[in-house]
Structure 1
Amino acid sequence: MPDVGEGLTEAEILKWYVQPGDTVADGQVVCEVETAKAAVELPSPFDGVVHELLFPEGTTVDVGQVIISVNVGGDAPAEAPAAPAAAPAPAAPAAEEPEPQGRQPVLVGYGVAATSTKRRPRKGATAVSAAVPEQAVAAIQGELNGHGGVATAARPLAKPPVRKLAKDLGVDLATVTPTGPDGIITREDVHAAAAPAVEAPAPVVEAPAPVSAPAAVPAPAVSADARETRIPIKGVRKATAAAMVGSAFTAPHVTEFVTFDITRTMKLVEELKSDKDMAGLRVNPLLLIAKAVLVAAKRNPDINAAWDEANQEIVLKHYVNLGIAAATPRGLIVPNIKDAHAQTLPELSKSLSELVATAREGKTTPAAMQGGTFTITNVGVFGVDTGTPILNPGESAILAVGAIKLQPWVHKGKVKPRQVTTLALSFDHRLVDGELGSKFLADVAAILEQPKRLITWS
Structure 2
Amino acid sequence: MMQDFLLPDLGEGLPEAELVTWLVAEGDEVSLNQTIAEVETAKAVVELPSPFAGRVATLHAAEGEVIAVGSVLISFDVAGADAPAHDVPATETPVGETAEAAEIASAVATDAVPEDARAEPNLVGYGASPRAGSRPQRRARVGARQARTDTAVLEAAPHDAIQLGDVEQVVERPRSTPPVRALAKQLGVDLALVEPTGPTDLITRADVEAYAERVGATGAVAPAASTVDAADAAPDAPPREVDARTTRIPIRGVRKHTAAAMVQSAFTAPHVTTFLTVDVTATTELVASLKADRSLQDHRIGVLAVAAKAVCLALGRHPELNSAWDEAAGEIVQHHYVNLGIAAATGRGLVVPNIRDAQELTLVELADSIRTLAETARAGKTSPADMAGGTFSITNVGVFGVDAGTPILNPGEAGILAVGAVRRRPWEHRGAIALRDVMTLALSFDHRLVDGEQGSKFLVDVGDVLSEPGRAMLLR
Which residue identity does 1:26 align to in structure 2?
L
Per-residue CA deviations over 1:15-71 (Å, capped at 9, x if unaligned) read 111110111111111111110111111011211111111000001111111111111
Determine the structure 2 residue equivalent to 1:322.
Answer: 340
Give the secondary-structure state (helix, strand or coil) at the position aligned to 2:80: coil
Determine the structure 2 residue equivalent to 1:420.
Answer: 438
Determine the structure 2 residue equivalent to 1:448.
Answer: 466
Matched, 1:312 2:344: no
Q: 1:140 to 1:263 in 2, by over 3 A?
A: closer
Matched, 1:360 2:378: yes
Which residue identity does 1:322 align to in structure 2?
L
- Inter-partner Cα distance in structure 1 for 2:295 and 2:394: 25
Determine the structure 1 residue equivalent to 2:241.
Answer: 222
Q: How far apart are 1:443 and its partner, in Å?
A: 0.5
- Inter-partner Cα distance in structure 1 for 2:256 and 2:295: 42
Q: 1:364 to 1:439 in 2, by over 3 A?
A: same
Determine the structure 1 residue equivalent to 2:69.
Answer: 63
Tell me which stretches of 4 or more aligned residues in structure 1 moved more than 4 Å. none
Q: How far apart are 1:74 and its partner, in Å?
A: 1.5
Question: Which structure has the bigger radius of gyration?
Answer: 1
- Inter-partner Cα distance in structure 1 for 2:296 and 2:363: 9
Which residue identity does 1:22 align to in structure 2?
D
Determine the structure 1 residue equivalent to 2:159.
Answer: none
With normalisation by structure 1, the TM-score equals: 0.68
Alignment of 1:10-409 (within 5 A): 10-74=16-80, 218-223=237-242, 225-275=243-293, 278-409=296-427
- Inter-partner Cα distance in structure 2 for 1:5 and 1:329: 23
- Inter-partner Cα distance in structure 2 for 1:287 and 1:219: 36
- Inter-partner Cα distance in structure 2 for 1:3 and 1:401: 36
CA contact (8 A) 2:22 2:63 kept: yes
Aligned residues: 325
- Inter-partner Cα distance in structure 2 for 1:67 and 1:37: 20
With normalisation by structure 2, the TM-score equals: 0.66
- Inter-partner Cα distance in structure 2 for 1:5 and 1:422: 38
Determine the structure 2 residue equivalent to 1:178.
Answer: none
Determine the structure 1 residue equivalent to 2:95.
Answer: none
Which residue identity does 2:344 align to in structure 1?
A
Q: Percent identity?
A: 59
Give the secondary-structure state (helix, strand or coil) at the position aligned to 1:249: helix
Gaps of 5+ in 1: 77-135, 145-216
CA contact (8 A) 1:319 1:341 kept: yes
Determine the structure 1 residue equivalent to 2:215.
Answer: none
Determine the structure 1 residue equivalent to 2:453.
Answer: 435
Which residue identity does 1:61 align to in structure 2?
I
- Inter-partner Cα distance in structure 2 for 1:393 and 1:334: 11
Give the secondary-structure state (helix, strand or coil) at the position aligned to 1:281: coil
CA contact (8 A) 1:59 1:218 kept: no
Determine the structure 1 residue equivalent to 2:146.
Answer: none
- Inter-partner Cα distance in structure 2 for 1:385 and 1:284: 17
Q: How far apart are 1:277 and its partner, in Å?
A: 5.2
- Inter-partner Cα distance in structure 2 for 1:37 and 1:318: 26
CA contact (8 A) 2:310 2:466 kept: yes
